Structure 1
Amino acid sequence: MVATNCKNRFSSADPHKVVALYDEFVALKSQADSLRAERNENSNAMKGKLEADRRAALIARGQELKDELAAVEERLNGVEAALQREGQRVPNLTHPQVPIGGEEHAAVLTEVGSQRAFTFPVKDHVALAEALDMVDFESAADVSGQKFYYLRNAGALLELALVNYAFNKVVSRGFTPIMTPDLVKASVLEKCGFQPRGSGTQIYAVEDSPLCLTGTAEVPLGGVYMDRILPEAELPVKMVAFGHCFRTEAGAAGMAGKGLYRVHQFSKVEMFVLATPEQSEALHQELIDIEAGMFTELGLHFKVLDMPSGDLGAPAFRKYDVEAWMPGLQRYGEISSASNCTDYQSRRLNIRYRPGAAAKEVGSDSDGGAEAAKKGAGKKGGKKGGAGGGSGGKTEFVHTLNATACAVPRMIVAILENFQQEDGSVVVPVPLRPYLGGMEVIRPPAKKQ
């Protein structure tokens, strides 16, 4: 089943190799344990008074055991590293309703609105934004390189408006607002299912450092509850974060990467949820409903797609994408996604819950550790083995889910291209106007006298 799943997901992972490495790891670990036990027996045998020949023999054997153990441990470390490396490449299992195949097999679940009929030649977002003095690609290329940009004037204000609009919408649905670090440890990225230092990676790694620039706030949000045991009563935990995203976009070229559509750095509002297995499917639907509600309110024409097996990425069990019509680019473009990763990330991050436990049953000593865990503070009590006075029942891994509330550059593309006017101005969607000081139309800034 695992091998077939890898094939369906176009994964190069080799589960048979993982099994072979695991068997070798177990055998070497057993051998190392036996050698340690014999070494201890040998050391104990040298205690007390011994004949010189007997002591010399024991010393010689002790040296042999030391050398043998060092060789076995070296092999064991190498096999363990290979096992971790190969094991991390194995993707999550796949929801039985997910279409099998590549991107062309995506199934349309919902379509909202229709393509606008223009009575004038349509411009793409690059032409519109540059004419409106909203963006500066040229200076950014000089300062940072290609696929970077400055947002200016209404462009800068529009980013802030989109972020605040999305934040307010999601927080009103019971999500805890969080601002996350942009740098995370490579080990945390790996536990979330990303490959930070492999060939073709999308991750920027800091040289001579364990840190990497994160490609999504999903990673630092997942790390908040790493190595924690939560009471079932506290689930689901819903978080929303504003973060900067950094991606190498290796291999991206052509019209698909034009202008703001595919860039190396951008701002994003990300939702992240911890849930029980029984809750996760309904929460997945809740996440896509939140996204669709916002995009509908903004007046966009879009489709919700059930993404096929070959387009899921390693962590996702099932993934919904939202693609909005972009008339300037003359195609639909992804503006959001929502993924149910089941226990793929939580097993690596070691995030567990205790079924049936109330808030007071899991935590640190008597200081309200469960409430502290909920707020992301006082980690000691929530650590594995740190529960005080709990029910002592078996723990289980939580399910993790993530969804994009607002990927700013893609939203700017969709807004500029869909709401452009014949004179080159752009009508501001009504829900964003309060966040732009009442601005109804984006026009070029007035020229200085």
Structure 2
Amino acid sequence: MIDLKTLREDPEAVRASQRARGEDASVVDALLSADERRRSAVSRADSLRAEQKQLGKQVGKAAGEEREHLLKKAKELSAQVKDAEAEQAEADQALVEAQKKLSNIVGPGVPPGGEDDYAVLKHVGVPPEFDFEVKDHLELGTSLGAMDMERGAKVAGARFYFLTGIGAQLELALLNMAAAHATANGFTLVVPPVLVRPEIMEGTGFLGAHSSEVYRLEEDDLYLVGTSEVPLAGYHSGEIIDLGAGPLRYAGWSSCFRREAGSYGRDTRGIIRVHQFNKLEMFVYCREEDAVAEHERLLGWEEEMLAKIEVPYRVIDTAAGDLGASAARKYDCEAWIPSQQTYRELTSTSNCTTFQARRLNTRYREADGPTRIAATLNGTLATTRWIVAILENHQQADGSVRVPEALRPFLGGREVLEPTR
């Protein structure tokens, strides 16, 4: 949730952020009203409690009729205090609910517009030219014995799949290479739970406009995560963390689950858009003033990983209307997909400023004593989808696929993947 101090000092900036996202700006005024009501309720309750305390001292000194009079007044005042505290509790809850309706404030420099209004920051590498008919990743993966979509659908339904043989090995190689890259850069490797409580899922901002994307186990009141960002954001919830030595950096390896609601008919072929996949996700806690620089570092680590798989890619600055609720800014790295003759997302990294940590009450203590809300950031280092880019960009005329050099040690030194059928 956003900082109320920012709301009070510059409500128009918050309205502008809502408009940039294509969201309802009137919720800002509703929040201002809830904030005013809550402050008024707190003031009234505090004033009555102070009066009650002062009256208690007078009762202790009084006697006779005066004491009886004061005791009667104290009883009436006690009822008023009780009513005022109930009003304050109600106002507190209304304020929290109003805060939850606002997305994070869009960062400076974020492009305006929607999904197609991103800004391309740079291109890296040149799309390959083939002197043979290009195969897509599903045709390549099937001939390599790497994936089986038909049996995936038979067992679990549409958009599920089996990775088999070299396909399973390739995914593990990718994730192990990403894990090695993360740990070499100071990240703590984590295998988190993939089921989380509602307050953790809500705290990360995934139960708002996109809650239809999330799988829920109603009987247990638990949610399946779509990214290890969620459990890692909850890892330090309700804690005061130590940032004295710098940011806390975690790399979460997990299976991820997404309902892909509303995406029917889009990318249904192969493993580009599926309900279950594996991912290694970076997650960082840092001081708010360090978050912009940390965001650039996360993007740099993602680009280093893309260099290792030797695919052309571009970096885009996501437009305000395409940001998730918790993100103030997001960069995507999109790899060239030869069969589609376009770039498709492989990684994203988001600066969530203090939005998630404020919801989850994650703080750190400054050297001079006071506590402050931490900032959180996340970024992808590898996912199952990367197999698409590797197979298509490194395919050869005979249907084999060249293994990128950096990936070979994680595949037992294998240099080429050969068709099995």
Tell me the TM-score normalized by structure 1.
0.80
CA RMSD of aligned residues (A): 3.1
Could you tell me which of 82, 101, 113 is aligned with 2:113? 101
Structure 2 residue aligned with 1:317: 328
Deviation digits for residues 388-440 of structure 1, max 9, x if unmatched? xxx5x2222222111100122x1011111111122222111111111112222
Structure 2 residue aligned with 1:404: 380
The 1:209/1:25 distance shift into structure 2, 3 A limit, reads farther
The 1:232/1:437 distance shift into structure 2, 3 A limit, reads closer
| Identity across matched positions, percent | 41
Trace 1:372-411 onto structure 2 (pairs within 5 A).
393-408=369-384, 410-411=385-386
Q: Distance in 2 between matches of 1:81 and 1:417?
A: 52
Deviation, structure 1 residue 306: 1.3
Could you tell me which of 171, 178, 192 is aligned with 2:204? 192
Q: Distance in 2 between matches of 1:136 and 1:65?
A: 70
Secondary structure at 1:322 match in 2: strand
Secondary structure at 2:116 match in 1: helix
Trace 1:27-426 onto structure 2 (pairs within 5 A).
27=40, 73=86, 80-195=92-207, 201-355=212-366, 357=367, 393-408=369-384, 410-426=385-401
Q: Distance in 1 between matches of 2:162 and 2:126?
A: 32
Structure 1 residue aligned with 2:413: 438
The 1:21/1:257 distance shift into structure 2, 3 A limit, reads farther
The 1:151/1:77 distance shift into structure 2, 3 A limit, reads farther
Q: Match for 2:152: what amino acid?
A: A
Q: Distance in 2 between matches of 1:331 and 1:85?
A: 42
The 1:107/1:23 distance shift into structure 2, 3 A limit, reads same
Q: Match for 1:335: what amino acid?
A: L
Could you tell me which of 15, 35, 43 is aligned with 2:28? 15
Q: Distance in 2 between matches of 1:32 and 1:82?
A: 17
8 Å CA contact 1:305–1:321 kept in 2: the answer is yes
Q: Distance in 2 between matches of 1:34 and 1:71?
A: 10
Deviation digits for residues 135-190 of structure 1, max 9, x if unmatched? 12222222221111111111110110000001101110111111111011110121
Structure 2 alignment gaps of length 5 or more: 1-12
Secondary structure at 2:212 match in 1: coil
Q: Distance in 2 between matches of 1:200 and 1:273?
A: 24
Deviation, structure 1 residue 112: 0.6
The 1:328/1:76 distance shift into structure 2, 3 A limit, reads farther
Deviation, structure 1 residue 199: 7.0
Structure 1 residue aligned with 2:402: 427
Deviation digits for residues 81-108 of structure 1, max 9, x if unmatched? 5543332231222221111112322122
8 Å CA contact 2:279–2:382 kept in 1: the answer is yes
Secondary structure at 1:250 match in 2: coil
The 1:136/1:70 distance shift into structure 2, 3 A limit, reads farther
Deviation digits for residues 97-130 of structure 1, max 9, x if unmatched? 1111123221222211111111111121112212
Q: Distance in 2 between matches of 1:332 and 1:429?
A: 19
Q: Match for 2:190: what amino acid?
A: I
Structure 1 alignment gaps of length 5 or more: 358-390
Structure 2 residue aligned with 1:384: none
Deviation, structure 1 residue 38: 10
8 Å CA contact 1:280–1:399 kept in 2: the answer is yes
Q: Match for 1:422: what amino acid?
A: A
Deviation, structure 1 residue 347: 1.3
8 Å CA contact 1:88–1:190 kept in 2: the answer is no
Q: Match for 1:285: what amino acid?
A: E
The 1:201/1:80 distance shift into structure 2, 3 A limit, reads farther
Q: Distance in 1 between matches of 2:287 and 2:211?
A: 34
Deviation digits for residues 302-335 of structure 1, max 9, x if unmatched? 0011112112211112111001111122321100
Deviation, structure 1 residue 69: 6.0
Structure 1 residue aligned with 2:9: none
Secondary structure at 1:146 match in 2: coil
8 Å CA contact 2:44–2:84 kept in 1: the answer is no
Q: Distance in 2 between matches of 1:95 and 1:215?
A: 24
